Amino acid sequence: MLAACVVVVLITLVRHRTAPLDEDPSETPDVIEYMTMWIGVVYAIVLGLAIAGVWEARSAAQDHVQAEAQALHEISERVRVYPADVRDRIRGDVNAYVGHVVNTEWKAMADTGQVTDRGAELLGQVRVDVTDYEPKTDFEAQAYQPVLDQMAAADQARNARADSAAPTMPGVVWFGLIGGGVVTIGMIFALQIRRTPRELILAGLFSALIAFLLFLIWDFDAPYSRGVTASADPFLSLFPDIKG
């Protein structure tokens, strides 16, 4: 933001020094003012849509985490009707998977934008534990299908979390956002602004605002790795024995 302000102010000062002596800033054609207004309006709409898109993606990423943690928690609770050895094995494997997600996989998503193969193996072991057990009583049989449903929900939520770990904004969109910002700021000079403190401050603030909004889009674009990120709190709250 500071760099954007400095660049705009320097260009304004240089342009003012190199301008012809007979240049009259008050004679800016009306069509330029009209074009500048509409360029600003269109670019504001594009920025708003981009911010809304990355914010929605970030919110969806947090929802995936919540859904996965809740499904695994339900598995741990519903197997209480199983024999003690089966119940403990399933709960132990669930805890091992959650511990890996919180302590290892979360950092991998932040660094590489991908989930780990080890996490898939640990979740696969939970699936084996759940699906291979053959209910011995009617009570266990009644709990068996809901546990399978929660297993499928956890797997689906993990896949959704993996898909949302990488940045979502295509390169061509970034080209449009940055190019549009350059054009929008460039139109300031088409209006032949002068070197008065008021105009320099407004030009600097305008350029800083655009820089901040572009940074905001970039920050939200990777839901698990940058400033305002989706957190692993749902896992930690539902599995308090796991230390993050």
Q: What is the pLDDT of residue 31?
A: 65
Is the model's pLDDT at 30 over the cut of 90? Answer: no
Is the model's pLDDT at 26 over the cut of 80? Answer: no
Give the pLDDT band (50/70/90) at residue 96. very high
Q: How confident is the model over 91-106, as a mean pLDDT?
A: 92
Centre a 10 Å sphere on the Cβ of residue 78 and count the other Cβ atoms it contains: 18
Q: What is the pLDDT of residue 5?
A: 72
Report the 3 state secondary structure along the chain. Answer: CHHHHHHHHHHHHHHHHHCCCCCCHHHCCHHHHHHHHHHHHHHHHHHHHHHHHHHHHHHHHHHHHHHHHHHHHHHHHHHHHCCHHHHHHHHHHHHHHHHHHHHHHHHHHHHHCCCCHHHHHHHHHHHHHHHHCCCCCHHHHHHHHHHHHHHHHHHHHHHHHHHCCCCCCCHHHHHHHHHHHHHHHHHHHHCCCCCCHHHHHHHHHHHHHHHHHHHHHHHHHCCCCCCCCCCCHHHHHHCCCCCC
Q: What is the mean pLDDT of the chain?
A: 84
Lowest mean pLDDT, pick from 24-33, 104-113, 173-182: 24-33
Is the model's pLDDT at 27 over the cut of 60? Answer: no
Structural domain boundaries in the chain = 68-168
Give the pLDDT band (50/70/90) at residue 36. confident
**Structure token digits, residue 144:** 């068996």
Is the model's pLDDT at 203 over the cut of 70? Answer: yes
Q: Which residue has the higher pLDDT, 179 or 10?
A: 179
- Whether 115 and 166 have beta carbons less than 8 Å apart is answered as no
Write out pLDDT tens, residues 208-225. 888 899 988 888 888 887
**Structure token digits, residue 15:** 């342009």
- Whether 154 and 76 have beta carbons less than 8 Å apart is answered as no
Q: Which residue has the higher pLDDT, 194 or 239?
A: 239
pTM, two decimals, is 0.75
Q: How confident is the model over 47-55, as a mean pLDDT?
A: 89
**Structure token digits, residue 198:** 């008021």
